């Protein structure tokens, strides 16, 4: 069974969604451990309730390299196959990224490359876009810039505020992340520059458009 490490700093709803998929046997993987840089993260408590192994590696007040060496040691010690950032509020240096080539995923609540960085839902609303969504991407040395695996589109409604838009995007995140993890673990994809190619048909992965809760396939 492939081993996942989930790194989080906050609420942990994506962790829960991934754990549920695994429990429902829709994602053939094991959450080997959940790591947080914040000891009081709500997501850690959720992980414990799910019976998962948790590790706190505090980042505050530590030199980045020392923190990352510790993190790398723990991850290598557990021989994880894939590292999934899920609300992990800490920029990882090239030193860390290069230790796990093409083995780190992140989920971001916007249609990248739009609204990378902080507060993407608020910025989507302020900018007047009609559609936003979420993206699962490989982590490279930039912030939210790595090759895109999957995206889900969510319409921005006239009546939306930051909370309602975030909520609808989050519902899509919970489906999308497990799908992307599954693709990587099954070794179904390869990278061609920044493009993610499906090995089976040598074409880009079909995207999924979610509109008003309905799933539409895009070519
Ligand atoms: C999600 O919106 C995710 O896209 C972003 O951080 C948030 C984490 O939420 N990177 P949760 O902790 O998984 O509930």
Give 131 or 203, the one with higher predicted confidence: 131
Q: Which residue has the tokens 């989930």?
A: 6
Q: Is the pLDDT of residue 199 over 90?
A: no
Q: Please state the atom number of ligand 1 nearest to the C-alpha of residue 16.
A: 13
The reported pLDDT for the residue numbered 211 is 54
Q: Are 141 and 186 a contacting pair, CB within 8 Å?
A: no
How far, in Å, CA of 189 to CA of 48, rounded?
A: 32
Ligand 1 centre from 47 Cα, in Å? Answer: 15
The reported pLDDT for the residue numbered 33 is 98
The radius of gyration of the chain's CA atoms, rounded to the nearest angstrom, is 17
Q: Which of the following is catalytic: 78, 108, 137, 174?
A: 108
Q: Are 144 and 137 a contacting pair, CB within 8 Å?
A: yes
Average pLDDT over residues 66-91: 97
Q: Is the pLDDT of residue 218 over 60?
A: no
How far, in Å, CA of 130 to CA of 100, rounded?
A: 36
How far, in Å, CA of 75 to CA of 19, rounded?
A: 19
Would you put residue 30 in left (φ > 0), alpha (ψ -120 to 50) or beta?
A: beta
Protein residue closest via CA to atom 6 of ligand 1:
87
Q: Is the pLDDT of residue 208 over 70?
A: no
How far, in Å, CA of 40 to CA of 25, rounded?
A: 30
Ligand 1 centre from 200 Cα, in Å? Answer: 31
Pocket of ligand 1 (CB under 6 A): 8, 10-14, 43, 86-87, 107-109, 170, 173
SS3 of the chain: helix, strand, coil, percent, to 5 = 30, 30, 40
Q: Which range is least confidently modeled, 19-28, 39-48, 162-171, 191-200? A: 191-200
Mean pLDDT (the chain) is 93
Nearest to 115 by CA among 158, 157, 154: 154
């Amino acid at each position: 069974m492939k081993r996942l490490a989930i790194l989080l700093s906050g609420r942990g709803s994506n962790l829960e969604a991934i754990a549920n998929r695994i429990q429902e046997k829709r994602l053939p993987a094991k959450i080997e451990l959940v790591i947080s840089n914040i000891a009081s993260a709500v997501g850690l408590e959720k992980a414990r309730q799910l019976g998962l192994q948790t590790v706190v590696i505090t980042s505050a007040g530590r030199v980045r390299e020392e923190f990352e060496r510790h993190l790398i040691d723990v991850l290598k010690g557990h021989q994880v196959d894939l590292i999934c950032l899920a609300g992990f509020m800490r920029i990882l240096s090239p030193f860390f990224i290069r230790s796990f080539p093409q083995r780190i995923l992140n989920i971001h609540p916007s249609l990248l490359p739009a609204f990378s960085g902080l507060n993407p839902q608020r910025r989507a609303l302020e900018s007047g876009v009609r559609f936003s969504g979420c993206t699962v991407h490989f982590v490279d040395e930039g912030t939210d810039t790595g090759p895109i695996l999957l995206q889900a589109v969510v319409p921005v409604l006239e009546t939306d505020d930051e909370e309602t838009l975030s909520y609808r995007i989050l519902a899509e995140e919970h489906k999308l992340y497990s799908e992307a993890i599954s693709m990587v673990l099954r070794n179904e994809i390869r990278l061609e520059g920044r493009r993610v190619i499906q090995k089976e048909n040598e074409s880009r992965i079909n995207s999924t458009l979610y509109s008003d809760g309905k799933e539409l396939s895009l070519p």
